[in-house]
């Protein structure tokens, strides 16, 4: 099931961090966003390890604390070139408290699973946390990705379902990567929507991390949508996630819907 494969200076120590978060303060949909299921992680062994008490460990812990405090909307932070590079992307319908909680959960989870790895990635329902040894700001990550598909197949007209699903996701792709998007707004590089399918409704979501340009967001979303036939055809629900962009669709509502 798995395949793996703005800026503001806040401090002057040689640490590089990026935080790209899309936050929506809509409390009426918290029921759609209560769970924060662990999805997957990757320990990047080629990036080496660090020792307990080392400067790398101290810088990493300090960065996580600073990032958690800085969860106040869409933020991109960097300083220096040689220490941990951190990117956090929360799901577009996350509240500030949900995003901060996901960061705490993700850092604790990746610290257990990849305890001394310099490079590591972990995905949860509400966020993805990436820790690297080099700066990748604005770049598309084609290496670290995976998919999860529903074990149940669609009953009835599978061809029609696949066509409806494709149309919905490509519409959302166009919206998420539209040149009309305004940086530092809650729906920047993010879109959700629904499509009727008989008596049911199909719900979808597309999202890019906010360090990407609109052009690279479109490239990333086209790349993952090309995976649809292999990972998701005929499935009631499916998601494909990288550290740069992701899509998801289900036959039940799972996010606060934006207008297509």
Domain ranges in the chain are 16-137, 146-250
- CB within 8 Å of 258: residues ≥ 6 apart: 92, 175, 187, 190, 191, 192, 193
- CB within 8 Å of 206: residues ≥ 6 apart: 169, 172, 173, 175, 176, 190, 191, 192, 221, 245, 246, 247
pLDDT the model gives residue 259: 56
pLDDT confidence band for 81 (50 / 70 / 90)? low
Cβ proximity of 244 and 212 under 8 Å: yes
Alpha helix (H) residue ranges in 70-152: 96-113
Closest CA to 1 of 42, 45, 40: 40
Say how far apart CA 163 and CA 157 lie, in whole Å.
10
Cβ proximity of 117 and 47 under 8 Å: yes
In this prediction, residues 174-199 reach a mean pLDDT of 88
Sequence-ordered strand ranges (E) for the chain: 16-19, 38-49, 85-90, 117-124, 127-132, 145-149, 190-197, 200-208, 238-242, 245-250
Cβ proximity of 23 and 95 under 8 Å: yes
Would the pLDDT of 76 be above 50? no
Tokens standing for 31?
Answer: 């029921």
Say how far apart CA 61 and CA 9 lie, in whole Å.
18
Tokens standing for 191?
Answer: 């879109």
DSSP structural state of residue 84: -
In this prediction, residues 174-194 reach a mean pLDDT of 87
- Chain segment 212-254, per-residue pLDDT in tens: 999 999 999 999 999 999 999 999 999 999 999 999 999 999 9
DSSP structural state of residue 55: H
Helix (H, G, I), strand (E, B) or coil at 56: helix
pLDDT the model gives residue 114: 98
Percent of the chain with pLDDT over 90: 60
pLDDT the model gives residue 17: 37
User: How long a stretch of residues is the chain?
Assistant: 260
Top-confidence residue, 13 or 217:
217
Helix (H, G, I), strand (E, B) or coil at 50: coil
pLDDT the model gives residue 183: 77
**Residue carrying the six token digits 């993010």:** 190
pLDDT the model gives residue 45: 98
In this prediction, residues 155-178 reach a mean pLDDT of 95
Q: Top-level CATH class of 16-137?
A: alpha beta
pLDDT the model gives residue 70: 77
Say yes or no: do domains 16-137 and 146-250 share a fold. yes
- Give the CATH fold of the 146-250 domain: Killer Toxin P4; Chain A (3.30.430)
In this prediction, residues 127-141 reach a mean pLDDT of 92
- CB within 8 Å of 50: residues ≥ 6 apart: 56, 57, 60, 116, 118
For CA atoms 35, 254, 220, 16, give the dihedral sign.
negative
What is the pTM for the complete model shown? 0.85
> What mean pLDDT value characterizes the chain?
83
Closest CA to 87 of 117, 123, 116: 123
């Amino acid at each position: 099931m798995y395949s793996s494969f703005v800026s503001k200076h806040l401090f002057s120590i040689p640490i590089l961090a990026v935080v790209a978060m899309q936050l929506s303060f809509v409390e009426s949909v918290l029921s759609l966003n209560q769970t924060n299921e662990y999805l997957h992680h990757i320990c990047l062994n080629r990036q080496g390890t660090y020792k307990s008490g080392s400067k790398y460990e101290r810088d990493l812990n300090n960065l996580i604390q600073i990032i958690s405090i800085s969860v106040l909307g869409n933020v991109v932070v960097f300083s220096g070139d040689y220490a941990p590079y951190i990117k956090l992307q929360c799901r577009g319908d996350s509240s500030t408290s949900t995003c901060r909680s996901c960061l705490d959960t993700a850092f604790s989870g990746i610290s257990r699973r990849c305890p001394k790895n310099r490079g590591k990635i972990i995905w949860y329902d509400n966020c993805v946390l990436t820790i690297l040894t080099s700066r990748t700001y604005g770049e598309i990550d084609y290496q670290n990705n995976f998919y999860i598909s529903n074990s149940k197949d669609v009953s009835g007209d599978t061809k029609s379902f696949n066509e409806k699903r494709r149309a919905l996701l490509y519409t959302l792709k166009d919206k998420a990567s539209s040149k009309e998007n305004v940086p530092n707004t809650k729906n920047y590089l993010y879109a959700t929507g629904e499509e009727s399918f008989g008596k049911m409704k199909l719900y979808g979501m597309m999202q890019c991390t906010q360090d990407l340009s609109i052009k690279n967001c479109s490239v990333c979303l086209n790349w993952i949508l090309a995976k649809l036939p292999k990972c998701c055809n005929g499935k009631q629900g499916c998601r494909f996630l990288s550290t740069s962009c992701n899509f998801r669709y289900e036959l039940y509502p799972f996010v606060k819907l934006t207008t297509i």
